[in-house]
């Protein structure tokens, strides 16, 4: 048993590590993806390119413009004086927002009347537009408050003391709400899934393609020896990639890791049962590496979309939310983010770990059962 397994492993490692393309996929790609998510993927909205459409050009209108700039959320890139210019700038994507103040804006304020402030948004990016709108609302409200205060003071009165509620928000685990802290740890889940599922299925199917499978199955090797020989290397490679991404996340991007590394590896082991189980299953239904790749992506895309990696599960329709319970990636991502940011342990994460163990057990045993040492 051990001798055959040993030479399977030696062969698999030689094959995986000797091929420069494989080395690239195994070790460079994970770091590359982490860096991309660390730098490029940022859902924070800051310095939105904005056009000022000021038809009044009064002290008040300039004051409000300054307030927008000062907030840090808006960056004035254009000044316009015609509707058509606004249209043109938004069409071309030069600005995401335009702030319009009509003639008489300052006069109305000075006379103590309300006056409209219009904000035009590029709604094609609904997420950003929503956030910008929210910021703009707050800025406008604060400016109104200031005006009231000034007017009361100017009239020599003492500002009325009214009761009010002031919201003091604090985001636990991610004080500055950095999207990097949210995405980078979850890259682990994506990389581990892609590398182990895709490469393990391709490693089996490649032997079918080059004909060595036929040669292997006429030897007395046992089914379990073959399967273990094909999967163990990817378990180790999966662990290695977890370590690699963690190093980049912690030391390069300064993402905090507050929980136990041991637990992270334990959860990875549970997740690998599902991921390698799918890989093995794909190898039983594919004859060529190309088929294996197509089949793997058939699993990988829905798994990523329904994992909560980028799109919140709470926003999905209830039926789809139920579906996500069958997705091992969902549990793994919750575990990773909790270990990284919340620093919680098994006491909190056991339901997710149990979910992974059950799904992994079912998928893996199904795949192993389907795998036969014969040609069909």
List of residues contacting another protein (CB under 8 A)? 3-4, 6-8, 10-11, 14-15, 18-19, 210-212, 214-221, 373-375
Residues 6+ apart with CB under 8 A from 53: 80, 81, 85, 86, 98, 99, 100, 101
Q: Which is nearer to another protein, 2 or 165 (CB)?
A: 2
Q: Which is nearer to another protein, 26 or 98 (CB)?
A: 26
Q: Which of 279, 277, 255, 254 is nearest to 336 (CA)?
A: 255
Q: Which is nearer to another protein, 8 or 121 (CB)?
A: 8
Q: Which of 347, 365, 351, 361 is nearest to 271 (CA)?
A: 361
Question: From the CB of 281, what's the least distance to another protein, in Å?
Answer: 21
Q: Which is nearer to another protein, 8 or 80 (CB)?
A: 8
Q: Which of 278, 277, 279, 274 is nearest to 206 (CA)?
A: 279
Question: From the CB of 219, what's the least distance to another protein, in Å?
Answer: 5
Question: From the CB of 282, what's the least distance to another protein, in Å?
Answer: 22
Q: How far apart are CA 291 and CA 285, in angstroms?
A: 9
Question: From the CB of 244, what's the least distance to another protein, in Å?
Answer: 24
Contact at 8 Å (CB) between 181 and 250?
A: no
Residue 180, both tokens: 């990097």
Q: Which is nearer to another protein, 49 or 216 (CB)?
A: 216
Question: From the CB of 182, what's the least distance to another protein, in Å?
Answer: 40
Q: How far apart are CA 50 and CA 97, in angstroms?
A: 5
Question: From the CB of 338, what's the least distance to another protein, in Å?
Answer: 41
- CB-facing half-sphere around the CA of 200: CA atoms within 13 A: 33
Q: How far apart are CA 38 and CA 243, in angstroms?
A: 16
Q: Which of 177, 349, 157 is nearest to 271 (CA)?
A: 349
Question: From the CB of 225, what's the least distance to another protein, in Å?
Answer: 9
Q: Which is nearer to another protein, 103 or 373 (CB)?
A: 373
Strand partners, 75: 49
Q: Which is nearer to another protein, 145 or 214 (CB)?
A: 214
Residue 359, both tokens: 């799904």
Q: In what order do the strands lie in the sheet with 118-121?
A: 74-79, 48-54, 97-101, 118-121
Main-chain dihedrals φ then ψ at residue 224, nearest 5 degrees: -70, -35
């Amino acid at each position: 048993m051990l001798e055959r397994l040993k030479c399977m492993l030696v062969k698999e490692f030689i094959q995986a590590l000797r091929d420069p393309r494989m080395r690239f996929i195994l070790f460079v790609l994970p770091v590359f993806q982490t860096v991309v998510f660390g730098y490029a993927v940022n859902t924070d909205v800051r310095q939105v390119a904005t056009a000022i459409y000021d038809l009044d050009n009064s002290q008040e209108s300039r004051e409000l413009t300054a307030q927008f700039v000062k907030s840090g959320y808006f960056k004035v890139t254009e000044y316009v004086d015609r509707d058509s210019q606004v249209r043109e700038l938004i069409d071309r994507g030069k600005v995401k927002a335009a702030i319009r103040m009509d003639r008489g804006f300052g006069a109305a304020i000075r006379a103590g009347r309300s006056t409209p402030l219009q904000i035009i948004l590029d709604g094609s990016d609904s997420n950003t537009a929503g956030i910008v709108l929210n910021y703009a609302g707050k800025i406008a409200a604060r400016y109104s408050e200031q005006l009231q205060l000034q007017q009361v003071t100017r009239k020599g009165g003492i500002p009325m003391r009214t009761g009010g509620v002031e919201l003091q928000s604090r985001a636990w685990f991610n004080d500055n709400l950095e999207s990097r802290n949210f995405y980078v740890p979850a890259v682990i889940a994506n990389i581990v899934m892609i590398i182990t599922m895709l490469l393990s299925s391709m490693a089996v199917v490649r032997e079918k393609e080059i004909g060595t499978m036929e040669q292997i199955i006429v030897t007395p090797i046992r089914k379990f020896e073959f399967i273990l020989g094909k999967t163990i290397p990817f378990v180790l490679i999966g662990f290695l990639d977890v370590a690699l991404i963690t190093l980049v996340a912690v030391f390069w991007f300064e993402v905090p890791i507050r929980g136990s590394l041991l637990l992270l590896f334990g959860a990875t082991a549970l997740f690998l049962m599902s991921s390698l189980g799918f890989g093995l299953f794909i190898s039983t239904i594919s004859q060529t590496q190309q088929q294996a790749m197509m089949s793997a992506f058939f699993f990988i895309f829905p798994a990523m979309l329904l994992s909560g990696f980028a799109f919140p599960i709470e926003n999905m329709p209830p039926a789809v939310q139920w579906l996500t319970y069958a997705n091992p990636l969902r549990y793994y991502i919750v575990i990773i983010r909790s270990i990284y940011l919340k620093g919680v342990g098994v006491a909190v994460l056991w339901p997710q770990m149990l979910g992974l163990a059950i799904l992994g057990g079912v998928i893996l045993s199904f795949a192993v059962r389907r795998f036969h040492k014969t040609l069909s």
